[in-house]
Amino acid sequence: MPEERGGQAWEEVPGPRFAPGTEVAGFTVEGTIASGSFGTVYRARRSGRPYAIKLVPIHPRGDREAAALRLMRHPNVVSFHGYGLWPEEEPRFLVLALELVEGLTLDAWAARENPSALELVMRVLLPFALTLADVHASGVVHRDIKEANIVMREADGQPVLVDFGAAGLKEGALRLTLRLPPGTAEYRSPEALRFARQWEGEPYPFAPGDDLWALGVVLYALLTRTLPFGDRSEPGLNRAILEKTPPAPHALNPRVPLALSELCMGMLEKDPEDRYPDAKALAEDLVELCTQADGDWRTPLFPGGRREKNAAAPAPAVPGHPERWRWRIAGPVAAAVLVLGVFLLLVQRSGSPPALPPQHASPRQELAPAQVTGEVGRGAGPETSPLPAPVASATNSEEPKMKKSQTVRTLVAAGCVASSGCVSGPRQRPPPEPAECPPGAALTHERFGLLKEDYFHGVLFAPRGQGPLVVPVKEGDVTVEIIGPWGKIPDRTTFSGRLYFGTDRVYGRFTKATLPGGEVVPVCLQLRRQHWEFGVPLEPESTRNKFIIRSSVTVERVDSFD
């Protein structure tokens, strides 16, 4: 279905077809990955590094995709490094530079791996729910969650969210669609369809709940190998989404644990009020279910396929009782300990895992270059900058210190969820103690327009241009350079402060800004938190004595150092 804009359809603009070896905006095309109504994705190379470049028509929709990607800096979201224009003489397309995510789409991975229910939750659903929580906290709604847009990264086994061509921004962006948002028909929520039926000319008020509903459809399909409401080739798809209740997954597939089946059906309740309020709540329940897991959770979901995995000893059950489709446990600390044990037992395998086939040419798979500089944002997004500002997801600074969602995130970090991001033998170090901002910082923030809605920005530890993607850092004094203007702070401004090392993160506090003209002013900035934690995570290359982080990170304006 074409996108609707003011009652008029946005006609698809056929993308260019490039033969291998073609030079496009500084990239050498190696082949086509996917093509759709929102653009064409190519495998490409620049300065010897592999990338994915996505060509999208110069249109507010393309600007929106770039703006959405700029708002996120997350290991489970395809990375964005900038964009160029093509052709240079009379530009008609944006060339988005994206991370190359090597791996299988979620449906292909599930068909090959035939995971158990416990593996599906721990390897896919839990980390992906945490990712969605961060995406939504950044002000972005993906609006096209489906198996083809979740790639199981070959390097570390993590689920990676790709293709933000349909993404919507909650704040400060022009609404481009009216009656129905872009997306895939089988995964649209009942509230979106009800809105379309009763449409009176206003844009659809999309929300994170649309993504969570779509994730429920994805889970149902993974558990049963069938879509809950049929597909668009069958008549009555929209009516089924609005009115019909599909059979519970365990009724179609007896290998699905009852608790997981009930959780899935809870995600597909027709009324948004009866579903999960946010992705964090979903993650919490997934952890709770894993603490209840018995031997049935370790059986592959479907007969045949790969060999049966060695069953690990069941995690001890926690006293509790079902309350509709939610569960209670003794406490978040107990949940963390038990699920970590479940995870560690889960990942023990005999023999070597089967080798992955070459790059899976899956639809909508996105990729990216190393350190590409170029224009970012053409006015449709919340801000404009000559360089992409890698931004971590926004979080609520008033979040209580010890919520269960924090425990869940700490748990995932501790187990690394099959990731290569664990640092061998980390030193146990606490984060720095809270501290006040330097005198005059608040006046600087006001003077340069560092407002509440624009409180984070990208900075570089390495020189601009073709600098390294990761850099070693030392504890103590440090200076970083701003990536493009921030409010009224000009480009080429530097921030000075100190770095502090934690167990598996680096913390940074910046108290002085030096403007290009030489003026020095006080500021109060800190390295941006991820996963509801402070600082930035260490890269996999780190060791006990060598701390390595991304060269481009994000700082946030704060009123005090937490």
- Per the model's pLDDT, the better-predicted residue between 405 and 317 turns out to be 405
- For residue 242, pLDDT beyond 70: yes
Q: Which residues of 413-452 are buried (b: 16+ CB within 10 A; e: fewer)?
A: bebbbbbebebeebeeeeebeeeebbeebbebbeebebee
Question: Given pLDDT bands bounded at 50, 70 and 90, which one contains residue 536?
Answer: confident
Q: Which stretch of 9-13, 82-86, 159-163, 558-562 has the lowest confidence by average pLDDT? A: 9-13
Joined together, the tokens standing for residue 425 give 């033998």
pLDDT, position 305: 63
Q: What is the DSSP string of 204-267?
A: P---HHHHHHHHHHHHHHHHHSS-TT--TTSTTHHHHHHH--PPPHHHH-TTS-HHHHHHHHHH
- Dihedral angle, C-alpha 106, 111, 114, 115, nearest 10 °: 0
Mean pLDDT of 217-228: 97
Q: Which residues of 513-542 are buried (b: 16+ CB within 10 A; e: fewer)?
A: bbeeeeeebbbbbbbbbbbbbbbbbbbbeb
Q: What is the strand order of the sheet 80-86 is part of? A: 23-24, 27-36, 39-46, 49-57, 93-98, 80-86
Report which secondary-structure segment, H or E, holds 82: strand 80-86
Residue with token string 């929106």 = 64
3-state secondary structure of 319: coil
Q: Which stretch of 217-226, 336-345, 357-366, 471-480 has the lowest confidence by average pLDDT? A: 357-366
Q: What pairing do the DSSP bridges indicate for beta strands 103-105 and 8-10? A: unpaired
pLDDT, position 551: 80
Q: What pairing do the DSSP bridges indicate for beta strands 476-482 and 470-473? A: unpaired
Name which CATH class applies to 105-346.
mainly alpha
Question: Given pLDDT bands bounded at 50, 70 and 90, which one contains residue 168?
Answer: confident
- For residue 187, pLDDT beyond 90: yes
Q: Report pLDDT digits (tens) over 99-157.
A: 999 999 999 999 999 999 999 999 999 999 999 999 999 889 999 999 999 999 998 89
- For residue 359, pLDDT beyond 60: no
pLDDT, position 19: 92
Q: How many angstroms separate the CA atoms of 412 and 156, rounded?
A: 14
Average model confidence (pLDDT) across the chain: 75
3-state secondary structure of 179: coil
DSSP state of 514: E
Mean pLDDT of 336-351: 42
Joined together, the tokens standing for residue 299 give 């059986």
- For residue 469, pLDDT beyond 50: yes
Check if the beta carbon of residue 104 is closer than 8 Å to that of residue 360. yes
- For residue 7, pLDDT beyond 60: no
Q: Report pLDDT digits (tens) over 300-314.
A: 999 976 545 444 433
Percent of the chain with pLDDT over 90: 40
Q: How many angstroms separate the CA atoms of 227 and 223, rounded?
A: 10
Mean pLDDT of 264-284: 95
Check if the beta carbon of residue 437 is closer than 8 Å to that of residue 538. no
- Identify which of 343, 248, 330 has the alpha carbon closest to the alpha carbon of residue 288: 330
- Per the model's pLDDT, the better-predicted residue between 358 and 264 turns out to be 264
How many helices (H) and strands (E) are present in the chain, helices listed first? 13, 24
3-state secondary structure of 130: helix
C-alpha distances (whole Å) from 84 to each of 41, 367, 371, 484 are: 14, 15, 13, 16
pLDDT, position 379: 33
Question: Given pLDDT bands bounded at 50, 70 and 90, which one contains residue 177?
Answer: low
Q: How many angstroms separate the CA atoms of 336 and 343, rounded?
A: 10
pLDDT, position 29: 95
Burial of 279 (0-12, 13-18, 19+ CB in 10 A): buried
Q: How many angstroms separate the CA atoms of 59 and 10, rounded?
A: 10
Check if the beta carbon of residue 486 is closer than 8 Å to that of residue 458. no
Based on its alpha-carbon atoms, the radius of gyration of the chain, rounded to whole angstroms, reads 23
Q: What is the DSSP string of 521-558?
A: EEEEEEEPPBTTBSSEEPPTT--SS-EEEESEEEEEE-
Check if the beta carbon of residue 535 is closer than 8 Å to that of residue 508. yes
Check if the beta carbon of residue 527 is closer than 8 Å to that of residue 555. yes
Report which secondary-structure segment, H or E, holds 105: strand 103-105
Q: Which CATH number fits domain 3-98: 3.40.50.2300, 3.40.50.620, 3.30.200.20, 3.40.50.720?
A: 3.30.200.20
Q: Report pLDDT digits (tens) over 262-271.
A: 999 999 999 9
Q: How many CB atoms lie within 10 A of CB 168?
A: 25
pLDDT, position 141: 92
Question: Given pLDDT bands bounded at 50, 70 and 90, which one contains residue 458?
Answer: confident
- Dihedral angle, C-alpha 336, 339, 340, 341, nearest 10 °: 130
Q: Report pLDDT digits (tens) over 77-97.
A: 999 888 888 988 888 888 999
- For residue 260, pLDDT beyond 60: yes
Query: 103 — alpha (psi -120 to 50), left (phi > 0) or beta?
Result: left
- Identify which of 483, 402, 429 has the alpha carbon closest to the alpha carbon of residue 73: 483
- Identify which of 90, 34, 44, 93 has the alpha carbon closest to the alpha carbon of residue 66: 93
Q: Where are the domains of the chain?
A: 3-98, 105-346, 425-561
Check if the beta carbon of residue 201 is closer than 8 Å to that of residue 178. yes
pLDDT, position 295: 87
Q: Which stretch of 46-60, 236-250, 314-328, 492-506 has the lowest confidence by average pLDDT? A: 314-328
Residue with token string 């060695």 = 310
The residues near 401 (Cβ < 8 Å, ≥ 6 apart) are: none
3-state secondary structure of 411: helix
- For residue 53, pLDDT beyond 60: yes
Burial of 552 (0-12, 13-18, 19+ CB in 10 A): buried
Please count the CA atoms within 13 angstroms of the CA of 254 that sit on its side-chain side: 1
Question: Given pLDDT bands bounded at 50, 70 and 90, which one contains residue 533?
Answer: low
- For residue 233, pLDDT beyond 90: no
pLDDT, position 525: 94
CATH no., domain 425-561: 2.40.128
